[in-house]
């Protein structure tokens, strides 16, 4: 059940205990039974129901395995109905497990990867040194990035504020024009608005 979750065959939030119990409820009844007492069609139906219940992604290799089980059932019933499939397959399964995850598999993996590791071993000191150097400069780099980000945010805030002040001064100038106020009031309003617009534009240019 844990392998199903780790492999991504079922959602990560799946309850492992529930999935384990569901699989056991399908497989336990057929253990230690001869072939003529096992209906693989019924077993497969239960497995597919379990897959649907837990939103399991049905892998192509699983479908091929189930198809093979049906062939084995049909052939076995015809040739040797009393065949104990589990006892017969046990030595082959044990040998496969030893080859895949046993000491032999561990030794084979080391033997096959030894040339690659030997080739990369001389580069390890440089890789370790470069990694340590990057870790040493990481706080300084993070502080620099934080300072730059803070300065950029401050520039954006100032640009927005200057733009709002400039727009307000422009609106005031327009209102003064329509209310026939002295012209120097209008000029002052437009001049101040232009100054703040220029400052807002300069902040945007500095940011880019």
| Chain segment 73-84, per-residue pLDDT in tens | 666 666 676 766
Q: Which residues contact 55 (CB under 8 A, 6 or more apart)?
A: 10, 11, 14
Cα(133)–Cα(51) distance, integer angstroms: 49
> What rounded mean pLDDT belongs to the chain?
77
> Of the spans 10-24, 32-46, 117-131, which averages the highest pLDDT?
10-24
C-beta pairs of 131-134 under 8 Å, 24+ apart in sequence: none
| Chain segment 86-138, per-residue pLDDT in tens | 677 778 777 777 777 667 777 788 888 888 878 878 888 888 888 887 777 77
**Whose structure tokens read 């927005």?**
160
pTM, full prediction: 0.36
Least confident of 52-56, 70-74, 170-174: 70-74
Cα(22)–Cα(16) distance, integer angstroms: 10
Burial class (CB in 10 A: 0-12, 13-18, 19+), 182: exposed
Q: Render the chain in DSSP notation, one character per residue.
A: -HHHHHTTSS-TT--HHHHHHHHHHHHGGGTT--GGG--HHHHHHHHHHHHHHTT----HHHHHHHHHHHHHHHHHHHH-TT--HHHHHHHHHHHHHHHHHSHHHHHHHHHHHHHHHHHHGGGHHHHHHHHHHHHHHHHHHHHHHHHHHHHHHHHHHHHHHHHHHHHHHHHHHHHHHHTT--HHHHHHHHHHHHHHHHHHHHHHHHH-
Q: Render 79-102 in DSSP notation, one character per residue.
A: H-TT--HHHHHHHHHHHHHHHHHS
Least confident of 52-61, 70-79, 127-136, 186-195: 70-79
Who wins on pLDDT, 72 or 107?
107
Cα(17)–Cα(8) distance, integer angstroms: 16
pLDDT at 39 over 80: no
Q: Which two tokens stand for residue 159?
A: 């640009």
């Amino acid at each position: 059940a844990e392998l199903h979750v780790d492999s991504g065959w079922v959602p990560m939030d799946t309850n492992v205990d529930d999935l384990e119990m569901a699989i056991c409820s399908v497989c336990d009844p057929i253990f230690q039974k001869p072939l003529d007492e096992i209906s693989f069609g019924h077993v497969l139906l239960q497995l597919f129901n379990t897959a649907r219940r837990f939103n399991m992604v049905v892998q192509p290799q699983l479908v091929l395995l189930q198809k093979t089980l049906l062939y084995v059932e049909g052939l076995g019933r015809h040739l040797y109905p009393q065949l104990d499939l589990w006892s017969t397959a046990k030595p082959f399964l044990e040998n496969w497990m030893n080859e895949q995850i046993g000491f032999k598999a561990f030794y084979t993996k080391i033997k096959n990867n030894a040339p690659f590791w030997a080739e990369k071993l001389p580069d390890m000191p440089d890789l370790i040194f470069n990694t340590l150097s990057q870790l040493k400069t990481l706080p300084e780099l993070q502080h620099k990035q934080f300072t730059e980000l803070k300065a950029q945010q401050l520039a954006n805030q100032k640009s927005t504020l200057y733009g709002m002040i400039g727009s307000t001064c422009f609106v005031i100038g327009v209102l003064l024009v329509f209310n026939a106020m002295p012209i120097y009031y209008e000029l002052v309003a437009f001049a101040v608005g232009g100054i703040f617009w220029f400052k807002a534009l300069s902040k945007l240019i500095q940011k880019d």
